[in-house]
Chain A
Amino acid sequence: MLGVGILKGLTETARNFFGSYVNKDRLTTIQFPEERAPRIEASRNFPFLVYDGTDAMQGLRCVSCLICEKECPPKCIFIEKSTDKKPDATGKPQFYPAKFNIDVSVCMSCQICVEVCPFDAIKMDNAFELSATDRFDDLLWDKNRLAKPNEYYREVHPTEAAAVDAELAAARAKAAAPKAPPPPPAQPATPTATPPAKETPAEK
């Protein structure tokens, strides 16, 4: 019979319309600026540089190895390597980026810089309200704008940051360990106790 299909469709629309008053599944709109959807932990948009400690420029993990610059698919990272070495967060002298710029108008948020970084120095941010008034200078982020503390990283990606922290701590313990065992070869029990003690001052 002509019209039955249309009536069936209209019941469906009515079910959705009235259902939206009782069923949360059918009411999906979020009134954005006032109301916000819970953040999804894995989400990413632009990279930032992680630093340890309190001084951003002093604590940058980046040692300016230029791998991310080379691997970046749209080539939006510009690094200028320093000529001198500065002690990093662990006190070891390292090269540092004299300049580290990311053109976020070119960046396509692919996360490949994060994947190739051997020092866990660059990570993905998930801040999304980034409008700017100047499309050239405001979108070319320098290292002062890119640097964010490790605490921030823990806040935006808790699971991932915990894994990275554990890995770094293990690597530092391992780096500290070879120095400790050779001097006392007679005592096999003590080296396991010494590295954590040595590591804590280094982290501060």
Chain B
Amino acid sequence: MTTTIPLPPSASLTSTPLPDGGESQLLEVSMGPQHPSTHGVFRMDVALDGEEVVKLKPIFGYLHRNHEKIAENETYLGSMPYTDRLDYFCSLTNNWAYALAVEKLAGIQVPERAEYLRVITAELTRLQNHASLVGFLMQDMGASGTPLMYAFREREKILDLFEALTGARMMCNYMRFGGCRVDLPAGWLEQAKQVVEAFPRFLDEFEQLLTSNEILMARTQGVGVLSKELAVNAGITGPMLRATGVNYDLRKVDKYGIYDRFAFRIPLGDHGDVYDRYMIRLLEMRESVGILQQAMRDLPDGPFTDPKTKVRNFRPKPGEAYGRIEAPKGELGFYLISDGSPNPYRYRVRPPSLINLTILEDMCLGRNVADVVIILGSVDIVMGEVDR
């Protein structure tokens, strides 16, 4: 099994002996927190031997805003808008994970139409998250603008759909315990179908632009390799894990919601390098388009929320529950303990970004600074979720 030694203290680092008998000097560089490639306020203390990274220490917490403690003093419903702000790219999947945990805790049944609405919004979220992630990854690689703007053009269409449905582009606050807040407005489904139908064409264009590009391949293949064993041991989830070849997707494992009704495949990588992570995202988008088409075709009529669930004075009986879903970034879980009062006794988030970030040093050792930037880009972090 290949496991790397944990963070060596800076003093024990040895530099390479030079041919003339001298020693090279280690250089410690602080990347961030305002570095454009760190996707938010994130800092890396990098020790360099020449151009090679010999130590990397991620430092986060700049965006900490006490999410869990605030939630413990807030009603169950009151935490819902705060979950939007965790991973602000995918507020709808955050809502879903939290709603799922509370539904488990309180034993609430979700009507069928609401399940379909959740799948549709969550898969649209996955599309826009992965598209913009690939755009940002290219930005980190130096393709300034073009792929990112193409991705944002598509994301904009999906955000317009979100705004028409939920009222907000990013802070959707859409799911409720036992369903969703509002039903689809008139004409929404037709518009969404058009967007989904047009999406594969965008993916084809995107792949034409990027996939076989020699510069992209040279920069990403064999870079930031993550082994299967380390990924599993470190608890990595999501596209990062599947890029290493481990077949683990909660949509298949847990079959939460109604994911057992859709036919879709789980794309798996081979090498666990940055290129695989890029490809996994593109392939996942194609599968998501398939799920969306099936869900929009089968969307039943009926109530969109459970009428028995109270909006105010909602008190689940004492107990605990852990709800988890496959968010675009990995396993997003909410752990709740209720003591029968209107606010949770304990509220804990399992953020995929933070846990996927823990193996950053293992992927970066021996690479140079430019590679660190794209390895970080391929992890897909959102600091709102890492720091909470």
Q: A: which residues have CB within 8 A of B?
A: 2-6, 8-9, 11-13, 15-16, 25-26, 28, 40-44, 67, 71, 73, 108-112, 115-116, 124, 159
Contact = CB atoms under 8 A, between A and B. Distances in A.
B173 A111 contact: yes
A67 B209 contact: no
A11 to B, nearest CB: 8
A135 to B, nearest CB: 20
B60 interface: no
B167 A124 contact: yes
A108 B214 contact: no
Q: Which of B171, B173, B181, B186 has the most CB of A within 10 A?
A: B173
A111 B167 contact: yes
Given A5-B217, A40-B160, A110-B81, A116 B312 contact: yes
B121 to A, nearest CB: 14
B77 A71 contact: yes
Contacts, number: 86
Contacts of A110: 80-81, 84, 171, 173
Given A73-B74, A159-B186, 15 more contacts: A2-B214, A4-B212, A5-B217, A8-B208, A9-B208, A11-B208, A15-B205, A16-B150, A43-B163, A44-B168, A67-B312, A71-B78, A112-B77, A112-B80, A112-B81
A16 B146 CA distance: 10
A40 B212 contact: no
B98 to A, nearest CB: 13
B167 A44 contact: yes
Contact of B164 (A8, A9, A15, A41): A41
B288 interface: no
A6 B214 contact: yes
A78 to B, nearest CB: 17
Contacts of A8: 208-209, 212-213
A129 to B, nearest CB: 17
B167 A28 contact: no
Contact of B214 (A3, A25, A67, A71): A3
A73 B78 contact: yes
A3 B198 CA distance: 29
Contact of A28 (B79, B156, B186): B156
Interface in B149-164: 150, 153, 156, 160, 163-164
B1 interface: no
A113 to B, nearest CB: 11
B16 to A, nearest CB: 33
Interface string B84-96: 1100000000000
Contacts of B311: 115-116
Contacts of A13: 146, 209
30 contacts: A2-B214, A3-B214, A5-B211, A5-B212, A5-B213, A6-B215, A8-B208, A8-B209, A8-B213, A9-B210, A9-B213, A11-B208, A13-B209, A16-B150, A16-B205, A26-B153, A28-B156, A41-B185, A43-B163, A44-B168, A71-B77, A71-B312, A108-B85, A109-B168, A110-B80, A110-B81, A112-B78, A112-B81, A116-B312, A124-B167
Contacts of A43: 163, 167-168
A111 B81 CA distance: 9
A195 B359 CA distance: 71
A158 B382 CA distance: 36
A116 B210 CA distance: 49
B166 interface: yes
A43 B173 CA distance: 12
B208 A12 contact: yes
Nearest to A13: B146
A42 B212 contact: no
B167 A42 contact: yes
Contacts of B209: 8-9, 12-13
B171 A73 contact: no
Interface in B254-308: none
A115 B215 contact: no
Nearest to A11: B208
B82 interface: yes
A28 B153 contact: yes
A110 B171 CA distance: 8
A32 to B, nearest CB: 14
Contacts of B81: 73, 108, 110, 112
A109 B171 contact: yes
Contact of A42 (B153, B163, B211): B163
Contacts of B216: 5
Contacts of B173: 110-112
B294 to A, nearest CB: 25
B252 to A, nearest CB: 33
Nearest to B173: A110
B30 interface: no
B61 to A, nearest CB: 22
B163 A40 contact: yes
Contacts of B217: 5
Nearest to B201: A25
Contacts of A4: 212, 214
